[in-house]
Amino acid sequence: MRNATTEDMKTLTVCLNKLMSEGYNIDFKVAEKGEELTALQTEKNYRPGEIHVVNFYRFEGASDPADNSILYAIETNDGAKGTLVDAFGPYADRKVEDFMKAVEDISKKNAGDVTPEMINGV
């Protein structure tokens, strides 16, 4: 049986709000050349080895692939916590894909926590 938290975590907005309530308040973007992640509020840049993706969530549009997105919850080696959102699938930003492929420290939540599979109803 699914719990209320799992049910509630089905939308990007709900997940973003939940992460923000847990201190993930920095907005990240992949820099123009795709080699660094930039914290928009501080303009600090991070290389792939300086970040840890603590979780990620995939959202699939019911009928339109353009609605597919992925949300990354990110922590940096200096303690910054924030999120990065990208399209998922054919509309994904190639720079984000390439940057994330270079990140070695990517994980999902442990059993019992909300996982991307739970969000997508798998």
In the chain, what are the domain boundaries? 4-119
Answer whether CATH 1.10.3470 is correct for domain 4-119.
no
CA-to-CA distance for 52 and 36, rounded, in angstroms? 13
pTM of the full predicted structure? 0.78
- Written as six digits, the tokens of 10 are 């089905």
- The pLDDT tens digits along the chain (122 residues) read 344 344 456 788 999 999 999 999 999 999 988 899 999 999 999 999 999 999 999 988 766 666 789 999 999 999 999 999 999 888 889 999 999 999 989 887 643 444 444 343 33
Contacts (Cβ under 8 Å, ≥6 apart) of 10: 59, 119, 121
